[in-house]
């Protein structure tokens, strides 16, 4: 199976901001996404896009939902 090379979003984008916040905090609670700038639907689409590209994953614990970075994404952010 051929593996695609993934590229991080542009540093000025909302997606990169989300990735940065998750990297800093370790986990971003799903209910805190509303605190970011931009419309609700737009932020939902960005989260969905990041999950589709396998940059982040959803983590569930004690009936709470949060987003965490995939290990490859952590390495990509460290190098960037």
pLDDT number for residue 37: 87
Query: In this structure, is residue 64 part of a structural domain?
Result: yes
Query: In this structure, is residue 23 part of a structural domain?
Result: yes
Strands, E, within 1-63: which ranges? 28-29, 56-61
Query: In this structure, is residue 22 part of a structural domain?
Result: yes
CATH of the domain at 41: 1.10.10.10
Query: In this structure, is residue 31 part of a structural domain?
Result: yes
Query: In this structure, is residue 65 part of a structural domain?
Result: yes
Tens digit of each residue's pLDDT (9 = 90 or more) over 69-79? 999 999 888 88
Domain span including residue 49:
14-79
Total domains in the fold of the chain: 1
Query: In this structure, is residue 70 part of a structural domain?
Result: yes
Full-model pTM: 0.86
What does the alpha-carbon distance between residue 23 and residue 16 come to, in Å, rounded to a whole number?
10
Tens digit of each residue's pLDDT (9 = 90 or more) over 34-65? 888 889 999 999 999 999 999 999 999 998 99
CA distances (Å), origin 6, targets 53, 59, 72, 76 = 8, 22, 10, 9
pLDDT average, residue stretch 17-25: 93
Query: In this structure, is residue 43 part of a structural domain?
Result: yes
What does the alpha-carbon distance between residue 26 and residue 41 come to, in Å, rounded to a whole number?
24
Give me the chain's average pLDDT, please.
90
pLDDT number for residue 5: 73
Q: Tell me which DSSP letter residue 70 carries.
A: -
């Amino acid at each position: 199976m051929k593996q695609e090379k993934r590229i991080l979003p542009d540093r000025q984008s909302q997606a990169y901001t989300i990735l940065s916040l998750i990297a800093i905090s370790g986990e971003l609670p799903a209910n805190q996404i509303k605190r970011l700038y931009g419309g609700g639907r737009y932020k939902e689409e960005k989260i969905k896009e990041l999950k589709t590209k396998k940059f982040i994953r959803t983590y569930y614990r004690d009936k709470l939902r949060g987003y965490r970075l995939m290990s490859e994404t952590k390495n990509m952010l460290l190098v960037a």
